[in-house]
Structure 1
Amino acid sequence: MFNLANPPEGFTENPFPHYDDLLQNSPVTPQPDGSFLITKHADLNAIYRDTTLYISDKKQAFAPKFGAGTPLFEHHTTSLVFNDPPLHTRVRRIMTSALTPKALARMEPGLIDTVDTLLDEMPQSPDLIEDFASTIPIQIIGNLLDIPMSERGPLRDWSLAILGALEPVLSDAQLAAGHTAVQEFKAYLQDLIARRRAAPGDPDTDVLTRLIAGDDTGQLTEIELIQNCIFILNAGHETTTNLIGSGLALLHDHPDQKALLLNDMSLIDTAVEEVLRLRSPNQFGNRETTAEVAFGGYTIPSGANLHLCIGAANRDPDVFKDPARFDITRKPNRHLAFAGGPHVCVGLTLARMEGRIAIARFLRRNRDYALSDDRISGGRIRFHGYTSLPATL
Structure 2
Amino acid sequence: MFDLAHPPAGFVENPFPHYDSLLRDSPVTPQPDGSYLICRHADLNAIYRDTTTYISDKKQAFAPKFGPGTPLYEHHTTSLVFNDPPLHTRVRRIMTSALTPRALASMEPGLIATVDDLLDRMPQEPDLIEDFASVIPIQIIGNLLDIPTSERGPLRDWSLAILGALEPTLTEAQLAKGHAAVSEFKVYLQDLIARRRADPGDPDTDVLTRLIAGDSNGQLSEIELIHNCIFILNAGHETTTNLIGNGLALLHDYPDQKSRLLNDLTLIDKAVEEVLRFRSPNQFGNRETTVEVEIGGHRIPTGSNLHLCIGAANRDPEVFENPTQFDISRQPNRHLAFAGGPHVCVGLTLARMEGRIAIEHFLRRYPDYEFSNQRIPGGRIRFHGYQSLPARLL
Shared fold by TM > 0.5?
Answer: yes
AA paired with 2:9? E
Q: Secondary structure at the match of 1:10?
A: coil
Equivalent runs, 1:1-393 vs 2, <5 Å: 1-393=1-393
Alpha-carbon offset, residue 297 of structure 1: 1.3
Alpha-carbon offset, residue 387 of structure 1: 0.4
Distance in 1 (alpha carbons) for counterparts of 2:371 and 2:297: 45
Distance in 1 (alpha carbons) for counterparts of 2:356 and 2:99: 17
Alpha-carbon offset, residue 220 of structure 1: 0.1
What is the root-mean-square deviation in Å for CA atoms of aligned residues? 0.4
Distance in 2 (alpha carbons) for counterparts of 1:2 and 1:212: 45
Q: Secondary structure at the match of 1:186?
A: helix
Q: Secondary structure at the match of 2:29?
A: strand
AA paired with 1:176? A
Alpha-carbon offset, residue 296 of structure 1: 1.2
Gaps of 5+ in 1: none
Q: Secondary structure at the match of 1:143?
A: helix
Distance in 1 (alpha carbons) for counterparts of 2:175 and 2:217: 36
Alpha-carbon offset, residue 373 of structure 1: 4.4
Distance in 1 (alpha carbons) for counterparts of 2:264 and 2:371: 23
Alpha-carbon offset, residue 287 of structure 1: 0.1
Percent identity of equivalent pairs: 83
Distance in 2 (alpha carbons) for counterparts of 1:34 and 1:253: 39
Distance in 1 (alpha carbons) for counterparts of 2:48 and 2:367: 39
Distance in 1 (alpha carbons) for counterparts of 2:74 and 2:345: 21
Alpha-carbon offset, residue 371 of structure 1: 1.0
Alpha-carbon offset, residue 372 of structure 1: 2.4
Distance in 1 (alpha carbons) for counterparts of 2:80 and 2:367: 40
CA contact under 8 A between 2:373 and 2:391: conserved in structure 1? no
Distance in 2 (alpha carbons) for counterparts of 1:130 and 1:138: 12
Distance in 2 (alpha carbons) for counterparts of 1:352 and 1:341: 18
Q: Secondary structure at the match of 1:362?
A: helix
Gaps of 5+ in 2: none
TM-score, length basis structure 1: 1.00
AA paired with 1:276? L
Deviations 1:256-287 (A, max 9, x none): 10000000100000000000000000000000
Distance in 2 (alpha carbons) for counterparts of 1:195 and 1:287: 37
Deviations 1:86-126 (A, max 9, x none): 00000000000000100000000000010001000000000
Q: Secondary structure at the match of 1:306?
A: strand
Give the number of aligned pairs.
Answer: 393
AA paired with 1:380? R
Distance in 2 (alpha carbons) for counterparts of 1:372 and 1:315: 30
Distance in 2 (alpha carbons) for counterparts of 1:297 and 1:350: 39
AA paired with 1:116? D
CA contact under 8 A between 2:125 and 2:390: conserved in structure 1? yes
CA contact under 8 A between 2:103 and 2:205: conserved in structure 1? yes
Q: Secondary structure at the match of 2:262?
A: helix
AA paired with 1:361? H
